[in-house]
Amino acid sequence: MNTHAINFNAGPSKLPPSVLKSAQDNLINYQGTGLSVLEMSHRSREFMAIRDHAEQAVRSALSVPDDYDVLFLQGGATMQFSMVPLSFCKPNQTVNMIHTGSWTKKAIAEIKKQGRVHMVASSESTQFDRIPDITPDQFDPDAAYTHICSNNTIYGTQYASFPESPVPLVADMSSDILSRPLPISDFNLIFAGAQKNAGPAGVTLVIVKKSWLDQDFDHLPLMLNYAKHAKESSMLNTSPTFSIYLLGLTVQWVLDQGGVATMQTRNQAKAKRLYDYLNSSDFYSPIAQPDSRSVMNVCFKTPTPDLDAVFVRESAQANLVGLKGHRLIGGLRASIYNAVSADDVDALLTFMQSFESNHH
Ligand SMILES: *Cc1c(COP(=O)(O)O)cnc(C)c1O
């Protein structure tokens, strides 16, 4: 049997080994019920307990205030790009946008089908190598809301702290939710496709201020109606039961490790080791600007695209997978989400050092 590869994939990505083991142990016979979670009714008492546990784990890990709903939806973060403007941007209203890469580009395209975009700031002119600096006067104070992407998975940039918006703040946190403590009350809505840091693909976590849902969404398709999802505990239809189960196990793992503050300390230490090495090397170079570097996705390159390709090949032979940069920017990318251990990062550093000495 192959030893498990060391997984630096950007998403779907590494899950904690103990989560996979627990899912395996319960796969055929979940806690003596005689059924697999895969086979249970989504309305059964057993599954409702699994769903409630997942919600409680999220509430506890992120200290979600009681006046927020926690929803488990489908359609990925991409569905949220449509669902948020359809719900909260009336025709001809404006949305403030801080444009930091391909995920905000996709959000912009969906907002434009519904309303207008006010570009607060953009880092497009520097190939999205940073989180732009902004001043309060750059926002449209009459906009319906402000959209940001907290961590730019492809370009390797991340907000160290969040901007103060004069209107409700919405954040795509697909690739850094649960990586650090969050001031939830500063946001009206947070969404995250689970498959980066919160579990497997197939479920999208939404944390939304209840008072924002106190409006009429009946003109929308049922499955795009946040208020209905909230009212029915995200059970409007057959929910992605196994994904919710694994999300619950993953968030419970975060809690068992000491919570998101522990995750933050570990994540910062892992990222620092990589960035310190990249900074000290005259062979590799980091891609993002120093103040904007992501703790989750470390993007870098060797002296040439050809050597980047050799790096991808040789690292895979060394059992390190998922290090190819996104096709939009090339180079290399190490995604070091919560489940990627300090030992995994050490294995990468050892490989990088030997690659540097072989090819310098
Ligand atoms: C992966 C990702 C998405 C897309 O998520 P899907 O679940 O595939 O729709 C959106 N935003 C960010 C920041 C991502 O990392």
Confidence band (pLDDT; 50, 70, 90) for 60?
very high
Q: Whose Cα sits closest to atom 1 in ligand 1?
A: 174
pLDDT at 360: 84
Which residues touch 45 (CB under 8 Å, ≥6 apart)?
A: none
Tell me which residue has tokens 């997978």: 321
Handedness of CA 133, 137, 141, 143 (dihedral sign): negative
Q: CA gyration radius for the chain?
A: 21
Q: Is 103 in the pocket of ligand 1 (CB under 6 A)?
A: yes
Residue 152 CA: nearest ligand 1 atom is: 13
> What does the alpha-carbon distance between residue 60 and residue 40 come to, in Å, rounded to a whole number?
26
| Single-letter amino acid code for the residue at 231 | K
> What does the alpha-carbon distance between residue 82 and residue 247 come to, in Å, rounded to a whole number?
23
Q: Which two tokens stand for residue 242?
A: 């196994």
What are the respective helix, strand and coil percentages of the chain, to the nearest 5? 40, 15, 40
Q: Which two tokens stand for residue 331?
A: 């180079």
> What does the alpha-carbon distance between residue 322 and residue 4 come to, in Å, rounded to a whole number?
13
Mapping DSSP to helix (H, G, I), strand (E, B) and coil, where does residue 298 land? Answer: strand
Q: Which two tokens stand for residue 290?
A: 């120093």
Contact 92, 113 (CB under 8 A): no
Confidence band (pLDDT; 50, 70, 90) for 185?
very high
- Please tell me which residue in 69, 129, 140, 172 is annotated as part of the active site: 172
* Mutation probe of ligand 1 site: the residue of 103, 151, 158 with most atoms within 8 A of C-beta: 103
Strand-pair partners of 97: 119, 147
- Decide if 212 is catalytic: no
Strand-pair partners of 94: 116
Q: Output 4 or 29, whichever has higher pLDDT.
A: 29
Mapping DSSP to helix (H, G, I), strand (E, B) and coil, where does residue 119 land? Answer: strand
Q: Write the pLDDT tens digit of every residue in 119-175.
A: 999 999 999 999 999 999 999 999 999 999 999 999 999 999 999 999 999 999 999
Integer angstrom CA distances of residue 199 from 72, 85, 194, 196, 295 = 12, 26, 5, 7, 18
Q: Whose Cα sits closest to atom 14 in ligand 1?
A: 174
The residue-averaged pLDDT of 45-72 equals 98
Average model confidence (pLDDT) across the chain: 97
Q: Write the pLDDT tens digit of every residue in 96-132.
A: 999 999 999 999 999 999 999 999 999 999 999 999 9
> What does the alpha-carbon distance between residue 332 and residue 301 come to, in Å, rounded to a whole number?
6
Sheet containing strand 116-122, edge to edge, reads 68-73, 204-209, 189-193, 169-172, 145-149, 94-99, 116-122
- Please tell me which residue in 14, 69, 176, 196 is annotated as part of the active site: 196
Q: Is 262 in the pocket of ligand 1 (CB under 6 A)?
A: no
Q: Write the pLDDT tens digit of every residue in 322-358.
A: 999 999 999 999 999 999 999 999 999 999 999 999 9
Say yes or no to pLDDT of 1 above 60.
no
Say yes or no to pLDDT of 2 above 60.
no
> What does the alpha-carbon distance between residue 54 and residue 242 come to, in Å, rounded to a whole number?
11
Q: Whose Cα sits closest to atom 5 in ligand 1?
A: 77
> What does the alpha-carbon distance between residue 162 and residue 230 come to, in Å, rounded to a whole number?
26
Q: Is 16 in the pocket of ligand 1 (CB under 6 A)?
A: no
Contact 146, 138 (CB under 8 A): no
What is the CB neighbour count within 10 angstroms for residue 306? 9
